[in-house]
Amino acid sequence: MMTYDAFRTGELQGWDARADDYDTATARATIQSIPDLLAAARLAPGLRLLDVCCGPGYATGAAAALGVEAQGIDFAPGMVRAAQTRFPAATFDVGDAENLPFDDASFNAVVCNFGLNHVTDPGRAMREAIRVLVPGGFYTFSVWLPPDRNPAFNLIFGTLTAHADMTLAPKAPDAFALTAPKAAETMLREAGFDTLGVRDVQNILKVPADGLFNFFYRFSVRFALIHDPQTETVQRAIRAEFDRTARAFLIGHDVCIPMPSHVFYGQKPEFGKERTT
């Protein structure tokens, strides 16, 4: 089986280093999916929620503001520190989505906002989510649409594939493996969920037009992991192409790029309704 150790280390170090200015970069796009993510989780005051790959804790904090007992977990210690500072009403711990440090059936809802496209084995992360959920509890997660239906990722990966030698980057799982409803549905069913559904979110990424390359470098660890091993000439070409291509999305002094996402959900079967096959 393929291992993604270098990718995992790069992700951990990359997100840890980005914790303090995450809200001026990646969060501009990710937070737009939180209302749908929490709505699909069927929350109510007093219920217990786990936010996996919580980053600086926006979904956890939003759930806590609804009176939910909210717990966030992320493998980057810097993210956990940032989250605890920002949302003192919630609890945050360092931990791995693929090996959750919680007892079986300890949460009423588990959410994961743009985390499954970063873990090395999303199927395992889903099996961990269903293990810690109570029967009848909901699991919800968001993923980006792929480059052919997502102008922001078309800009990022189109520019990279046009110039970069992709073999220099750490071997990584497919970032868009769960985008297709069929693929997400299959993985959810294999993990044991039923009552599946999907909500569409039309995220728009708004970026100051100057310093566009620097923004995307902070925005995406995967982008940095592909960019950094390239030669200086290739890095210059990537930077120039970014500035050129992004002009198509200029509105006033900002670049506004559509970055649509899906929010998928599934329910852990109630007692007595578990599937036997």
Ligand X SMILES: C[S@@+](CC[C@H](N)C(=O)[O-])C[C@H]1O[C@@H](n2cnc3c(N)ncnc32)[C@H](O)[C@@H]1O
Tokens of 44: 């109510």
Nearest-approach distance from CB 108 to ligand X, in angstroms: 19
Binding footprint of ligand X, residue count (CB under 6 A): 22
Applying the rule CB under 6 A, the residues between 178 and 237 that interact with ligand X are none
Tell me the DSSP string of 54-100. -TTTHHHHHHHHTT-EEEEEES-HHHHHHHHHH-TTSEEEE-BTTB-
**Which residue's beta carbon is nearest to the bound ligand X?**
55
User: Smallest distance from the beta carbon of 217 to ligand X, in angstroms?
Assistant: 14
Are 152 and 207 in contact, with CB atoms under 8 Å apart?
Answer: no
Which of 76/155 has CB closer to ligand X?
76
Stretch of 72-80, 162-170, 181-189, 255-263 contacting ligand X, by CB under 6 A: 72-80
Out of 58, 87, 139, 264, the only residue in the binding site for ligand X (CB under 6 A) is 58
- Binding mask 19-38 toward ligand X (x if CB under 6 A, else -) reads -------xx--x--------
Distance CA 245, CA 190 (A): 40
| Sites for ligand X among residues 103-132 (CB under 6 A) | 113-115, 118-119
We find the least distance from the C-beta atom of residue 38 to ligand X, in angstroms, to be 11
Shortest distance in whole angstroms from residue 119 CB to ligand X = 4
Long-range residue pairs from 10-15, CB within 8 A, at least 24 positions apart, any chain: 10/170, 10/221, 10/225, 11/118, 11/221, 11/222, 11/225, 12/75, 12/76, 14/221, 14/224, 14/225, 15/55, 15/74, 15/76, 15/78, 15/79, 15/118, 15/221
Sites of contact with ligand X (CB under 6 A): 11, 15, 26-27, 30, 53-55, 58-59, 74-76, 79, 96-98, 113-115, 118-119
